[in-house]
Amino acid sequence: MNRRDKTNYYLDMAEVALERGTCLRRNFGAVIVKNDVIVSTGYTGAPRGRENCIDIGSCIRKKLNVPRGERYEFCRSVHAEMNAIINASREQMLGATLYLVGRDMETGEIMQDANSCTMCKRMIINAGIEHVVIRRDRDTYDIVSVRDWIYHDDILDGQRGY
């Protein structure tokens, strides 16, 4: 019997969480783990009480052909990372790892270039999460040190010419 390695085990759980997602473009699942204990999970979906894109059958960002990574203020959804962070206490997240999986809803494929948006990166930094593990395919992943996000600001780096 081949036992699943622990990192892919948690990524598999994040992939299960994304199945609850309600976005018509891309769904993400996130699992926060500390000391081998699952602290919280999250998936992409509208704020509680609001209708989801899948319920109303449309996505304004898709209608406007907004490129990926831009104009999130038009999005109805709260991101998976945000939902996972909202549902945990700071003490639980200090030094924790966030596992993230994204799926393109048009193709049904895992997003090999998935990453947290700038706003999610800020929340992850402030939550005290230490690492983010991002699935690239069924068995491979990248491990990102959140410290790198602290020292390399997406917004400022572009202005500094990096």
Specify the 3-state DSSP secondary structure of 5: coil
Contact yes or no for 93/85 (Cβ under 8 A): yes
How is residue 143 written in tokens?
A: 């491990």
What residue spans of 70-117 are helical by DSSP H? 80-86, 90-93
Q: What amino acid positions are annotated as catalytic residues?
A: 81
Q: Which of 147, 97, 115 is nearest to 28 (CA)?
A: 115
